[in-house]
Amino acid sequence: MSVSTTLGDFFRVRKEKGEAGLPTLSVTMNDGLVDRADLDRKMETNLAPEEHLRVREGDIAYNMMRMWQGAFGRAEKDGIVSPAYVVVEPREKIDSRFAAHWFKSARMIHLFWAYSYGLTEDRLRLYADDFCQIPASPPLLTEQRRIAGILDTWDRAIAQSDALIDAKRRLHFGLSQSIYAPAINEDGNLGIDWEPCSMSELAEVVGGGTPSTANPAFWAGDIPWCTPTDLADLPTRYISATERMITAEGLKASSANLLPSQSIVLCSRASVGECAINTLPMSTNQGFQSLIPHRSDDTLFLYYMIRALKRRLLRISAGSTFQEFSRTELRGLEVAAPPPDKRTAIGAALAKLDDEIDILRACSKRLKEQKRSLMQSHLGGDARGVQEAAE
């Protein structure tokens, strides 16, 4: 017969005072417990080390106000943490590496929320005593270690994949800034083969428009109609679908234009500089000044040029009541470009690097999906099945 147990049977609350010389650690939502000095947002404290809490390797520290959202971390080394945190030390029958995965499961997140107290959700707190009262039945220690080993393996693979993506993205950004320097810097230093030109010499600049929303005949047609929202979080450089569609009648009755495929849809307000290559004929709203390349092989070259020029586009937008650049300003924008064959080569080289990043992103996504599946199969039922089978 199984015995009812709680987290207090597997963890004891550590209230040990901090001491000088230990690193100050902070709980983050996504990265667990990290050195405070490594955070992008620097956080200063006036508290002396002994006013902090001591955390030892293998302990779990959590943010009382955010534990129900998964704000906790396992200490990989000794340190000190804010006295506003709770530090729990694993007892003999729990593996803290297992617990670090277990506490991210949907079942445990729900329990952390259910045992938190507060008048409103943004004030919920999971106090140490309530943490210890949460019902929990982890599997036997040997099974915990096996599960932790499996999930740790996936975490390492995900971390390696994400590190490769970050490295490739930095390489791509550095190459783009270097290649397009003659167009970005405006200092007259054009380099070999680059000649000054205006954007209108490279592409036709085309605006957009919105058909009357009062006329149903203008909407729910077969022509994609792009808005800045459609460019948010695109997984690649291409856009193939939009949330809303218009009819040929709506296109004709508005200032919207039909862009041929392989144009560059370019936000001219709100998300200034955001862009994508449309894979099929498409229209846009008035928040765009899009580019139709004069030369079809220039699409990739111009797409990466626009990305490299984003700061310049923001500068020419700054003088308006709200950020926006006009068709006239974009057409007259002074840039520079090399001969056609070199433009083709530049676009192809940067696209190849982008393709490699896309493959890595897909790999990372698969790994994360596989880990979620593993967590569901091993932790989805609060891990009671293994425990009860053993009893």
- Read off the pLDDT of residues 174-188 as tens digits, 9 standing for 90 and up: 999 999 999 988 666
Q: How far is CA 284 from CA 167, 230, 248, 328, 339, in A?
A: 34, 10, 13, 18, 31
The residue among 44, 127, 60, 52 whose CA lies nearest residue 82 is 52
Domain 7-138: give its CATH superfamily: DNA methylase specificity domains (3.90.220.20)
| Contact between residue 84 and residue 64 where contact means Cβ atoms under 8 Å apart | yes
Domain with CATH 1.10.287 in the chain: 140-178+340-391
Q: Which fold has domain 140-178+340-391?
A: Helix Hairpins (1.10.287)
Query: Could you tell me the two tokens for 336?
Result: 């520079």
Summarize the confidence of residues 263-273 as an average pLDDT. 94
**pLDDT score, position 301:** 98
The pLDDT tens digits of the residues spanning 236-246 come to 999 999 999 99
362-385: pLDDT as tens digits: 999 999 999 999 998 888 644 433
Q: Is the pLDDT of residue 124 over 90?
A: yes
Average pLDDT of the residues in 221-232: 96
Burial of 81 (0-12, 13-18, 19+ CB in 10 A): buried
Give the helix, strand, coil percentages of the chain, each rounded to 5: 45, 20, 35
Identify the helix (H) or strand (E) that includes residue 11: strand 11-14
Closest among 138, 147, 281, 143 to 206, alpha carbons compared: 281
- State which amino acid sits at residue 311: R
Calpha distance 35→77 (Å, rounded)? 10
CA distance 195 to 65: 58
**What pLDDT score was predicted for residue 1?**
43
DSSP 120-153: SGGG-B--HHHHHHSB-----HHHHHHHHHHHHH
202 CB-contact burial (10 Å; exposed 0-12 / middle 13-18 / buried 19+): buried
pLDDT in tens, 73-99: 999 999 999 999 999 999 999 999 999
Can you read off the two tokens belonging to residue 220?
A: 């729910």
Check: CB of residue 55 under 8 Å from CB of residue 25.
yes
pLDDT tier at 229, thresholds 50, 70, 90: very high
- What are phi and psi for residue 267, nearest 5 degrees? -70, 130
Chain region(s) in the chain for CATH 3.90.220.20: 7-138, 195-337
Q: Specify whether the CB–CB gap between 347 and 298 falls below 8 A.
A: yes
Q: For residues 283 and 258, give the distance between their C-alpha atoms in angstroms, rounded to a whole number.
A: 5
Pairing between β-strand 244-246 and β-strand 219-226 as defined by DSSP bridges: antiparallel
Instruction: Report whether CATH 3.90.220.20 matches the domain 195-337.
Output: yes
